[in-house]
Amino acid sequence: VTTLQETLMAQVPGKQAELAKLKKEHGSHVIGEVTIDQCIGGARGIKAMLWETSNLDPEEGIRFRGLTIPDCQAVLPTYSGVKGDGEPLLESLLWLLLTSEVPTKEQVDSLTAELHSRAELPAHVIPLLNSLPKDMHPMTQFSIGLNACQTESVFAKAYNDGVPKTDYHEYVLEDILSVIAKLPEIAAIIYRNVYHDGVVNKDTSLDYSGNFCRMLGYDNPSFDELMRLYLCIHTDHEGGNASAHTTHLVGSTLSDPYISYAAGLNALAGPLHGLANQEVLRWIQALKDKFDAEGKAVNEETITEFAWETLNAKKVIPGYGHAVLRKTDPRYTCQREFALKHMPDDELFKVVETIYQVMPGILKEHGKVANPYPNVDSHSGVLLWHYGFTQYQYYTVLFGVSRAVGGLCQLYWDRALGLPLERPKSVTPEWLWSQVKK
């Protein structure tokens, strides 16, 4: 079996040469222009970042190394070992994102074993997590837990020892695999501490996602499958999203992967980004509470009424809209398909379906949003809720376990390709005025 490390080391010289050639021969080629709107409007659409692992098309949605979500479901190894029978394993996607190759089941199994072997948390981290107040947001706890694991960074040590920069990526890869390996237990400790008895049980005879489910306290093959799907689809969404971009930016200063991704987690914790999945459930529960109290059913009419109340209060409809996408998010669609297969009669799933029927029309009428369709966060919560995972304040932590894979696979290539410190130019309002008054 060719290992992940061997596969990567064989690819690096060719990729480095290709990028050097592109830069040398075409470095001055113009690929875009920047308007004042883009400069003050959150850099939407400006092409200014190299991203190897995935690409987001506004109409079609995400492709991981060229593969759509249905492609991944068809070709990546699954738990049963039969392609297409069940959801892809997270380890399969990790391999794909890092190497751009579809792994064999044997390769995936070797990666599962490697991740399990790297999972142990440093001794100081568990007491630290246990000491945190139960009402501290789970994402804050998650970020603290990962930051505290930084004592294990082999890259930080190697840098300190003065290794040449051509070798950085080898140490960064070590850290990346260790961070990905350690995140489930940090996440599970937080979940068990905040909502249960603090006890975390492992089952390393299972894959990464299955073991994570056991650590959270869930023992249901259908939930394992949901977790595999969930962890795969949240991994990567090209480079410009806030969590991936933050990881890349912080990593560009040669901060190690532990603290680079902890920074990414803090970006994910914002309500316009990853926290939206918790906000969706909060919005649905508020809607149900209101109409239950009024003795009214939740239907197209009452959802429409509630949506307008939200919009008129100058708040966003969580789970709708996107900075890049202009159609229904394929990550929404695959979760909807999962629900149709595993829980077609679930009450909250039907509410989500009804919201999906009316919301694009409402948002079009509202007339502001560039994209009136649902994004990934609009569906993930109700699937978890179905299995009794109702602690929605925690949902973004699951997103955070997954997003590590995309952000950190790219971070590997950032260092392997020797990408420089990121440092875009800012401008003053006076300078912008001087441009239009010329």
Choices 14-22, 180-188, 269-277, 285-293; region in contact with ligand CMX by CB under 6 A: 269-277
Cα(415)–Cα(420) distance, integer angstroms: 9
Least distance CB 324 / ligand CMX (angstroms) = 8
Give the residue carrying structure tokens 């999962």: 338
Of 110 and 143, which has the nearer Cβ to ligand CMX?
143
Structure tokens at 293: 């109290």
The only residue of 138, 321, 381, 407 in contact with ligand CMX, by rule CB under 6 A = 321
Q: How far is the CB of 102 from ligand CMX (least distance, A)?
A: 27
Q: What are phi and psi of 34, to 5 degrees?
A: -120, 130
Instruction: Determine the residue type at 405.
Output: V
196 is catalytic: no
Number of residues that bind ligand CMX (CB under 6 A): 21
Q: Single out the residue of 148, 244, 267, 317 in contact with ligand CMX (rule: CB under 6 A).
A: 317
At which residue do the structure tokens 């260790």 appear?
A: 178
Residue from 126, 180, 276, 339 that binds ligand CMX (CB under 6 A)?
276
Is 236:62 a contact under the CB 8 Å cutoff? yes
Strands 61-64 and 54-57: antiparallel
Residue choice 138, 318, 381, 400 for contact with ligand CMX (CB under 6 A): 318
Q: Name residues contacting ligand CMX, limited to 213-242 (CB under 6 A).
A: 241
Please indicate whether residue 377 is annotated as part of the active site: yes
Distance CA 225, CA 209 (A): 8
The yes or no reply on residue 272 touching ligand CMX (CB under 6 A) is yes
Output the smallest distance, CB 272 to ligand CMX, in A: 4
Binding characters for ligand CMX, 361-390, by CB under 6 A (x = yes): -------xxxx---xxx-------------
Task: Pick the closer one to ligand CMX by CB: 276 or 343.
Answer: 276
Which member of 237, 245, 248, 322 is catalytic? 322
Residue whose Cβ sits closest to ligand CMX: 321
Best CA proximity match to 156, nearest among 183, 129, 174, 141: 174
Long-range pairs for 135-140 at CB < 8 Å and ≥24 separation?
A: 137/269, 137/393, 138/190, 138/191, 138/194, 138/393, 138/394, 138/396, 138/397, 139/265, 139/266, 139/268, 139/269, 139/274, 139/275, 139/396, 139/397, 139/400, 140/269
The reply on whether position 432 binds ligand CMX by CB under 6 A is no
Count Cβ atoms within 10 A of the Cβ of residue 202 and give its class: 0-12 exposed, 13-18 middle, 19 or more buried.
Answer: middle
CA distance 212 to 224: 9
Closer of 92 and 396 to ligand CMX (Cβ): 396
| Nearest distance, CB of residue 277 and ligand CMX, angstroms | 7
C-alpha–C-alpha distance, residues 404 and 408, integer Å: 6
| Footprint of ligand CMX (CB under 6 A) | 241, 272-274, 276, 311, 316-323, 368-371, 375-377
Hey, which residues are catalytic here?
273, 322, 377
